[in-house]
A and B are shown apart, each in its own frame.
Chain A
Amino acid sequence: METTLISLPRTLSQDTRFRDLVVEAAGETIFSCYQCYKCSAGCPVAFAMDLLPHQVIRSVLLLQKEKVLSSRTIWICASCETCTTRCPNEIDIAKVMDVLRQIQIESGTEAKEPKIPIFHKSFLNTIKRYGRIHELSLLANFLRKSGGIGDNFKTGEWKNDVRLGMKMFLRGKLKLLPSSVKGKEELGKLFDQAKGHKKL
């Protein structure tokens, strides 16, 4: 019993801001997590995670910021929404993952799966530039920013990519030029506003 008494005030004295940010975005239901494991049992990418979804929730409650933000889990979560759908306590676990990713990016440290946030950035930049996703522009931007071309040569993955690319091209599935879309100025404004909406 004594250890509980000692650890409780220590927890309370810690900076709770990290947990507050998660609660603010994903709701107070996270406090009702009773570690039933249902989220982790149904998670399709659990096999590749270093922290299972129910452990992420517990770690957030215990203010283990570094542990959560440096995890592979927050990036490889595929946003399939199975956990959110099945949680008996209505915890929006997928939303918790979103908030954690946003906090991780703003923290300025390197993500455990660095390619994934780079991809998201390339994706948003493509929207900002063209208004819609032009698949080839996105791919080119992402490969350049992530050093993916060099990696693919090392692993031999480039042969697969070239083969697949040729097949898609021959089947008319590669749109060569981006569409021009009206109202891009309005989009620019949204992207400017977005800069003012930081978590930290």
Chain B
Amino acid sequence: MKASFFPGCSLEGTAREYGESIDAISRFLGIKLEELPGWTCCGASAAHCTNEFLSVSLPAKNLLLAEKLNQDLVTPCAACFSRLKNAEKVLIKESQQTDAVPLFRGEINIFHLLEFFSREDLVEVMKAQVKRPLSQLKVVSYYGCLIVRPPQITDAKNWEDPQALDDFISLMGGEAIFWPYKTECCGGSLLLTNLDIVRQLIGRILDMAREAEADCIVTACPLCQANLDTRQEEIGKAKGVTYNLPVFYFTELLGLAFGLKGTQKWFRRHLVDPRPILKTKKLI
């Protein structure tokens, strides 16, 4: 199985362990994720908030590159996914309104990594590869906003109560705990500009995860992970609580369940160290 891969900017920096674990998992499963040559930033919130032209043309530039290679495009970032999908919809709509040869034919699919990995045949393969079940690990799944919303753009089928991450937790032998904050916003787009608001949004999510008695949180977005992981200590201090809730990328947990080597290197990059809870549960 092959696809073009749009890593997004975070994977080169704050989300390094996401990139490393995706690489390890896809090699292990024999999936070729080929980095899109010459990819550039999707423009993220900065473009759609301030310039409509850039909000479409920046991601569109990457879609055109991907279509030339005639391969589906996969991205692990919720924000990149949202901008690429939005550009796809705009370009297809425009091409329907004109007789000219369209720039983008819409013949490739754009997937978020979570959806790409959730293909039935692949899930069957993964099931057979679980060598170290995550027994007794209580996990809440956190999807955030843009993997699922708005469904007109994401083509998500279950946007208020998505299941893909929960299904992975069960597949790995962990306990997927139901909680009501799967798709609450963590305020990622305000992280550097209004920390007061961001702290309140993250605090609510962490409080709910605690109330659900989760051992950890699992995500599929570099911004969600960074936001929930990096600010725990200071938010906890201000509220007088200790959260100590590791925030995993789902690919890291897959690596652990498959018994891959090198998982500890990913875990060492976390601000909330996941190793103590994994040791307690005898998973490492």
Contacts and interface: CB of A to CB of B under 8 A. Distances in A.
Interface residues of B, number: 54
B225 to A, nearest CB: 11
A98 to B, nearest CB: 5
Given A84-B150, A98-B49, A133-B9, 9 more contacts: A44-B184, A78-B189, A79-B145, A81-B149, A105-B50, A115-B193, A127-B40, A131-B40, A181-B39
A39 to B, nearest CB: 12
Interface in A110-161: 113, 115-117, 119-121, 123-124, 127, 131-136, 139, 142, 157, 160
B32 interface: no
B50 A120 contact: yes
A76 B38 CA distance: 33
B49 A79 contact: yes
B49 A133 contact: no
A81 B50 contact: no
A98 B48 contact: yes
10 contacts: A48-B196, A76-B194, A80-B145, A82-B185, A85-B149, A98-B55, A115-B193, A127-B40, A133-B9, A190-B53
Contact of B38 (A81, A102, A181): A181
Nearest to B53: A197
Contacts of B189: 78-79
A51 interface: no
A85 B150 contact: yes
B76 interface: no
Contacts of A132: 9, 12, 39-41
Nearest to B188: A78
Interface stretch (B241-249, B251-259, B265-273): B265-273
Q: Which of B9, B38, B54, B201 has the most CB of A within 10 A?
A: B9
Size category, A interface: 35 or more
A127 B270 CA distance: 27
Interface of A: 25, 44-45, 47-48, 76, 78-82, 84-85, 92, 94, 98-99, 101-102, 105, 113, 115-117, 119-121, 123-124, 127, 131-136, 139, 142, 157, 160, 164, 167-168, 171-175, 179, 181-184, 186-187, 190-191, 193-194, 197, 199
Contacts of A105: 50
B52 A47 contact: no
Q: Which of A94, A157, A184, A194 has the most CB of B within 10 A?
A: A194
Nearest to A138: B192
B50 A135 contact: no
Contacts of B270: 171
Interface of A is mostly: helix
Nearest to A116: B193
Given A98-B48, A131-B41, A191-B54, A85 B190 contact: no
B52 to A, nearest CB: 7
A116 B251 CA distance: 33
A155 B87 CA distance: 40
A163 B192 CA distance: 16
